[in-house]
Amino acid sequence: MQELLEKLIEKHKPVCNKGKIPDYIPILREQDPFGLGITVVTTDKKIVSAGDCPTRFTLQSISKVIALILSIMDNGEEAVFAKVGMEPTGDPFNSIYKMEVFSYSKPLNPMINAGAMVVSSLINGKTVSEKLERLLKLVRDMAENDQIQIEEEVFRSEWEQAHRNRALAHFLKELDLIYDVEDALAVYLRQCAIGVDCTDLAKIGLCLAQNGRSYSGKQLFSRHVARLAKTFMVTCGMYNASGEFAIRVGIPAKSGVSGGILASVPDRMGIGVIGPALDEKGNSIGGIAILEDLSCEWNLSIF
């Protein structure tokens, strides 16, 4: 297994050349565009890593999956999906036009920014801090790593440039889907700035693969909620390339603008990947290439 992972890292490093570090979040520009790393954690507790992954990167959109889980645990499915839909959109993650032109009363799904802000604002907690602490706790529990922190510097950098997200948030406020714009943004952007490494991601993926049971065996949430999260990962997890990813790879996965990918192979393994160079849809270009090969090699597609 180690050998295969090393081989794939070497094989796909060159493709990172064709990707780009996004420039709209200043601090992300400092990432190594040629970094490419992977960790696999299996249900029989093997942990294998390969590549020169940066020690640490931020969850960014990957956090949407975990916030959705917590929000459903806190509020129940019905309450959450009263305020956010379940449909893939075919549109970019920061899109808003459909809500205007089709007079939709809620964002189309919890994996686009608008939907994620609604979901996060529903997390229990009287203050921004309380909500975040509870979310951070779930992340730590899933990854079984108490060192996981919010990287304030990353948050600051995004907060200052969050014009589009602010626009979305005010749009949501008009629709009465969030209570306080600044609070909703503060929760959302801080959850994006939670710092992890590939092993953390892989263990989070394992927890989903084991239907809510963590690496060391704690049942953190129900099988039903785990399934729901994995379903959204398939239909909307890779931005508006989710359909193609389902065809080519077929693994529940969620990507982030930092270049991380969280993948979860039901009943088999969790996978964490990092590769900061992104393709034009915003997914790690090297990460997708590796996952496609792995899926083929180990027959991981759920379809």
With tokens 């297994």, the residue in question is: 1
Tell me how far apart the alpha carbons of residues 217 and 211 are, in angstroms, rounded to a whole number. 11
Candidate ranges 12-20, 142-150, 222-230, 285-293; the one touching a second copy (CB under 8 A): 222-230
Q: Select from 99, 93, 104 the least CA-distant residue to 241.
A: 93
Q: Select from 116, 133, 125 the least CA-distant residue to 65.
A: 116
Q: Is 102 an interacting residue with respect to a second copy (CB under 8 A)?
A: yes
Find the binder of a second copy among 196, 232, 271, 283 (CB under 8 A): 232
Q: Between residue 154 and residue 173, which ones bind a second copy under the rule CB under 8 A? A: 163-164, 166-171, 173
Q: Between residue 26 and residue 85, which ones bind a second copy under the rule CB under 8 A? A: 85
Please check if 113 is assigned to a binding site.
yes
Tell me how far apart the alpha carbons of residues 132 and 251 are, in angstroms, rounded to a whole number. 28
Task: Kindly tell me which of 1 and 79 has the beta carbon lying closer to a second copy.
Answer: 79
Catalytic residues: 61, 64, 188, 239, 257
Q: Select from 290, 294, 297 the least CA-distant residue to 14.
A: 290
Question: Do residues 171 and 114 make contact, with C-beta atoms less than 8 angstroms apart?
Answer: yes
Find the binder of a second copy among 35, 250, 256, 276 (CB under 8 A): 250
Q: Select from 159, 267, 246, 201 the least CA-distant residue to 65.
A: 201
Please check if 215 is assigned to a binding site.
no
Q: Select from 148, 136, 138, 181 the least CA-distant residue to 163.
A: 181
The distance of closest approach from Cβ of residue 108 to a second copy in the complex, given in angstroms and rounded to an integer, is 6
Number of residues that bind a second copy (CB under 8 A): 48
Binding site for a second copy (CB under 8 A): 85-91, 95-98, 100-102, 108-109, 163-164, 166-171, 173-174, 181, 227-228, 230-232, 234-236, 240-244, 246-247, 250, 252, 266, 301-303
